[in-house]
C-alpha cells in the first residue's frame, strides 16, 4: 500500500492461483459539651413572607419584616437580618462582644457536614461563659427561595453547645446545629436568649438598633443554590501549572482535600484545600486554593486526549460535594481541539495550529504567566503504538525549520504543509491504521509551566480491502482444452470493501491490472480473469467508481474463462495471477450521498 501525492494511490496485491493435477486449480456524608448530635426533626413554628401568623396565637409587629410569636420573640421573616459579628479584644477580655466568629487569623470558621441523612452547620460564637445554664435559648432558621422568604424554629434538641475556651466573663462556644434537609436557596440561623443571668444583651453586635431584641444572626449561607464567585474559573478555561482560588457562599467543608474532577488523571495532578473565610455583604465567603502539578501530566496522553473537532479543550467537571448542594463547575482543560481532514485536502492546504488552539486560552496563559517573562512552546507527538511515548517534533523531524514546531507563544504557530516530512509521516501512520496524537508544552523562561490537552490528529484516508485469495478450485484439463467459464468457489465472500472519509470531496475510482508475463500466469493457458464484469490485463482497467462516503462493499463476481488450449499440461501445476488494485480520486468534487 502506498500513497502518491496529488493522487493518493493505494496499491494492494492479490494472488489468484491455479493448480494443475491433470486438472487445473485456481487458489486466497441542647446538650452541653457533647460531641454527639441528635437526629430529631426541625420543629415547632413556621412562618412565611405571605403570613404573619404562627402555630400559636401570634400578633403582627409594627415592622413588616418581623413576626412576633406568643413568646414575644421577633424573628426575621421577610428579609435576612444583618449578621451579629462577635469580637474578641486582645488585651481586654472583658470587652469581648457577643456574636458569631468568622476570623481566619484565629481559625474561627462556619462549617458544614452531613451525618447520616441530616445536614449540620458548625457555628463558632462568643457568649456568656455560663450560657449553657440558660433555659430560654431558642433557635430559628430563615429561608429564601427565589424572592420568597420563610422561616421555622429549630428544636433545642437539634443543637449541641460545646464550650471551646473560657475568657474572663465570656467564652468561645461551638454550636452544632442539625438543620435536617430543608430546601432553600439561602438560609440564616438566628438565636434568641433573654435569660437575665446567662443570655444575650437586648442589643448585640451590629444589630444595635434593637430591631431583633435578644437575637443574634449568622451570616447568610448559600444552601441549595451555592454560588461560585471565582472569575478565573467562570470563563470555563482551565490549565495546569498555576494555582488559583475558588470562592463560594457556603460554609467550610470538613475534608482536607475537597473538590474532585470527574477525570481521574486530572485528579491526580490537582488538589483543593481550604484557604480562608470571611463575610461580604452579609453573606459568608469560603475560599479554597486549587493547586496543580504540571509534572504529573507531562507525558500523559491516554485518558486526556480529545477527539472532538468542534470544541476546544477536554471537557471536565470540578465538583465540590457540599452536603446542601453539590457545586459543579464545568471546565474545559487544555485549549486544543482535535484535527481532522482528508489527505486529499492536505495536499492543497496546510495545517496551521492557530486554527486549533483557542485564542482565549492563549490569552489567559500569556496574561497569567507572561508578564515580565518569555513564554515559548514546543510540540510533541505520539502514536497508538505507545500512546504516552511523546517525542519532540523538532528533534525527530529536522528537515523543515519553517514549520515552527518550537517558537514564541502567541506569536509563532506550527504549520504543517503537504511536503513537510512530519506531515508525510502522519499520513503514513494513518494509512497503516495507527492513531496520531499531538500536545503542546509551554515554557516560562525555559521551565515547563503548562500544557495543552493532547488531541487526536485524524488524517482521513480512503481504505481499500480485498480478499487474500480467490479460489477457483480444480478445473479439469478437458474444460481448459475445450474452453469454458467458471465462478470462484469463494464467490459469496469475495468482495471489494472501501471506506471513503466524510471529509472527502472526490469521486473515487478503483482500477485493476495483472502482470500477464509470469511463467504460471493464467494467460499462458489462454485464460482470462474477469472482475466486476471487466476483463483484466496488464493495462489498468477501471472496475468501480465510488461517489459516496462511508463503507461500500462490492461483490467481485470473479470468473475465469478459457478460450481453448491445445498444448501439453504438466500435472499438479499451479497457475496464479497477481492483481494490482489502485484507488485514486477521479473528480475534484464529491457527489452527495
User: How many CB atoms are located within 10 Å of the residue 402 CB?
Assistant: 8
**Full DSSP string of 571-585:** TTEEEEEEEEEEEEE
Cα separation, 140 vs 216, in Å, equals 10
pLDDT, tens only, 439-463: 999 999 999 999 999 999 988 888 8
Q: Angle CA(319)–CA(322)–CA(324) in degrees, nearest 5? A: 130
Residues whose CB is less than 8 angstroms from the CB of residue 457 and which lie 6 or more positions away in sequence, other chains included: 338, 339, 340, 381, 426, 436, 437, 438
Tell me how far apart the alpha carbons of residues 91 and 546 are, in angstroms, rounded to a whole number.
91
Of 45-59, 272-286, 554-568, give the lowest mean pLDDT range: 45-59
Residue 239 · residue 291 · CB < 8 Å? no
pLDDT band at residue 329 using 50, 70 and 90 as cut-offs = very high
103 DSSP assignment: B
CB atoms within 10 A of CB 45: 21
Determine the average pLDDT of the residues in 147-153.
Answer: 94
- Give the other-Cβ count within 10 Å of 572's Cβ: 10
- Kindly give the residue spans of alpha helices, DSSP state H, lying in 237-351: 264-269, 343-348
Domain 463-585 in the same topology as domain 99-222: yes
Start-to-end C-alpha separation, the chain: 27
Question: Cα separation of 180 and 40, whole Å?
Answer: 8
C-alpha cell read off for 202: 437586648
Taking only the tens place, the pLDDT of each residue in 81-139 is 999 999 887 765 556 889 999 987 788 999 999 988 889 999 999 999 999 999 999 99
| pTM exceeds 0.85, yes or no | no
Q: What is the pLDDT of residues 9-46, one digit of tens each?
A: 333 434 444 433 333 333 222 333 333 232 333 333 33
DSSP for residue 95: G
Residue 91, pLDDT score = 63
User: Residue 474: CB partners within 8 Å, gap ≥ 6?
Assistant: 19, 21, 23, 24, 25
User: Which range (28-42, 171-185, 335-349) has the least confidence?
Assistant: 28-42
Type and span of the H or E element at 124 = strand 118-128
Question: Ramachandran region of residue 505, left (φ > 0), alpha (ψ -120 to 50) or beta?
Answer: alpha
Nearest to 163 by CA among 196, 132, 122: 132
Cα–Cα distance measured from residue 326 to residue 506, given in angstroms and rounded to the nearest whole number:
51
Query: In this structure, what C-alpha cell is assigned to residue 369?
Result: 504567566
Residue 339: count of CB within 10 angstroms of its CB? 20
Q: Are 76 and 192 in contact (CB under 8 A)?
A: no
Answer whether 427's CB lies under 8 Å from 343's CB: yes
Q: Does position 256 have pLDDT exceeding 80, yes or no?
A: no
Fold of 463-585: Immunoglobulin-like (2.60.40)
Q: Return the sign of the alpha-carbon dihedral for residues 245, 249, 253, 259.
A: negative
**Using only C-alpha atoms, what is the Rg of the chain?**
39
Residue with cell 430529631: 40
DSSP 8-state assignment for residue 64: T
Residues 6+ apart with CB under 8 A from 161: 30, 31, 32, 33, 131, 132, 173, 174, 175
**Arithmetic mean of pLDDT over the chain:** 82
- The answer to whether 525 and 569 are in contact (CB under 8 A) is yes
In angstroms, the CA 81 to CA 219 distance is 9
| Better pLDDT: 570 or 483 | 483
The domain limits of the chain are 99-222, 237-336, 337-460, 463-585
pLDDT band with cut points at 50, 70 and 90 for residue 564: confident
Instruction: Give, as one character, the DSSP assignment of residue 296.
Output: G
Q: Are strands 339-342 and 455-460 parallel, antiparallel or unpaired?
A: parallel
Q: Cα–Cα distance between 413 and 348 in angstroms, integer?
A: 19
- Quote the longest CA-to-CA distance of the chain: 130
- Fold type of domain 237-336: Immunoglobulin-like (2.60.40)
Supply the pLDDT for residue 499: 86
Write the class of the CATH domain 99-222: mainly beta
Report CA 126 to chain centroid distance, whole Å: 45
Amino acid at each position: 500500500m502506498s500513497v502518491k501525492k496529488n493522487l493518493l494511490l493505494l496499491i494492494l496485491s492479490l494472488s489468484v492461483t491455479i493448480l494443475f493435477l491433470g486438472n487445473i486449480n485456481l487458489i486466497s456524608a441542647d446538650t452541653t459539651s457533647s460531641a454527639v448530635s441528635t437526629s430529631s426533626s426541625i420543629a415547632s413554628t413556621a412562618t412565611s413572607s405571605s403570613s404573619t401568623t404562627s402555630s400559636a396565637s401570634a400578633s403582627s409587629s409594627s415592622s413588616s419584616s418581623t413576626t412576633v410569636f406568643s413568646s414575644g420573640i421577633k424573628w426575621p421573616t421577610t428579609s435576612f437580618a444583618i449578621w451579629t459579628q462577635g469580637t474578641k479584644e486582645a488585651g481586654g477580655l472583658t470587652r469581648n462582644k457577643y456574636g458569631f466568629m468568622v476570623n481566619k487569623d484565629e481559625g474561627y470558621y462556619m462549617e458544614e457536614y452531613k451525618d447520616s441523612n441530616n445536614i449540620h452547620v458548625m457555628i463558632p460564637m462568643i457568649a456568656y461563659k455560663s450560657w449553657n445554664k440558660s433555659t430560654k435559648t431558642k433557635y430559628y432558621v430563615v429561608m429564601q427561595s427565589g424572592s420568597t422568604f420563610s422561616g421555622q424554629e429549630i428544636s433545642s434538641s437539634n443543637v449541641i453547645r460545646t464550650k471551646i475556651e473560657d475568657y474572663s466573663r465570656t467564652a468561645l462556644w461551638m454550636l452544632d446545629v442539625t438543620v435536617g434537609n430543608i430546601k432553600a436557596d439561602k438560609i440564616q440561623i438566628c438565636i434568641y436568649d433573654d435569660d437575665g443571668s446567662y443570655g444575650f444583651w437586648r442589643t448585640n453586635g451590629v444589630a444595635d438598633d434593637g430591631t431583633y431584641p435578644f437575637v443574634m444572626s449568622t451570616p447568610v449561607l448559600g444552601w441549595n443554590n451555592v454560588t461560585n464567585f471565582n472569575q478565573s474559573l467562570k470563563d470555563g478555561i482551565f490549565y495546569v501549572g498555576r494555582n488559583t482560588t475558588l470562592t463560594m457562599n457556603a460554609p467550610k467543608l470538613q475534608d482536607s482535600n475537597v473538590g474532585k474532577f470527574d477525570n481521574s488523571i486530572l485528579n491526580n495532578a490537582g488538589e483543593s484545600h481550604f484557604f480562608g473565610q470571611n463575610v461580604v455583604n452579609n453573606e459568608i465567603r469560603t475560599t479554597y486554593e486549587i493547586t496543580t502539578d504540571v509534572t504529573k501530566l507531562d507525558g500523559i496522553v491516554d485518558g486526556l486526549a480529545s477527539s472532538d473537532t468542534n470544541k476546544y479543550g477536554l471537557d471536565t467537571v470540578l465538583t465540590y460535594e457540599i452536603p446542601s448542594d453539590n457545586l459543579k463547575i464545568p471546565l474545559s482543560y487544555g485549549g486544543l481541539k482535535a484535527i481532522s481532514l482528508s489527505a486529499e485536502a492536505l495536499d492543497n492546504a496546510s495545517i496551521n495550529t492557530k486554527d486549533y488552539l483557542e485564542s482565549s486560552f492563549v490569552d489567559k496563559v500569556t496574561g497569567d504567566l507572561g508578564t515580565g517573562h518569555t513564554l515559548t512552546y514546543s510540540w510533541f507527538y505520539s502514536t497508538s503504538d505507545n500512546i504516552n511515548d511523546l517525542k519532540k517534533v523538532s528533534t525527530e523531524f529536522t528537515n523543515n525549520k519553517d514549520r515552527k514546531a518550537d517558537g514564541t507563544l502567541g506569536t509563532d504557530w506550527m504549520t504543517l504543509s503537504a511536503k513537510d516530512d512530519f506531515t508525510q509521516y502522519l499520513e503514513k501512520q494513518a494509512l497503516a491504521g495507527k492513531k496520531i496524537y499531538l500536545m503542546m508544552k509551554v515554557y516560562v523562561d525555559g521551565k515547563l509551566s503548562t500544557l495543552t490537552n493532547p488531541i487526536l490528529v485524524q488524517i482521513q484516508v480512503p481504505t481499500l480491502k480485498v480478499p487474500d485469495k480467490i479460489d477457483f478450485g480444480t478445473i479439469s484439463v478437458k474444460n481448459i482444452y475445450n474452453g469454458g467459464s467458471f465462478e470462484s468457489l469463494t464467490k459469496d465472500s469475495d468482495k471489494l470493501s472501501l471506506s471513503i472519509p466524510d471529509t472527502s470531496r472526490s469521486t473515487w475510482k478503483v482500477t485493476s491490472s495483472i502482470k500477464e508475463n509470469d511463467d504460471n500466469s493464467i494467460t499462458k493457458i489462454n485464460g482470462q480473469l474477469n472482475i466486476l464484469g471487466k476483463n483484466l490485463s496488464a493495462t489498468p482497467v477501471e472496475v468501480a467508481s465510488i461517489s459516496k462516503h462511508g463503507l461500500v462493499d462490492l461483490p467481485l463476481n470473479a470468473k475465469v474463462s478459457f478460450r481453448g488450449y491445445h498444448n501439453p499440461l504438466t500435472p499438479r501445476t499451479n497457475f496464479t495471477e497477481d492483481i494490482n488494485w489502485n484507488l485514486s480520486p477521479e473528480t475534484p468534487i464529491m457527489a452527495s450521498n
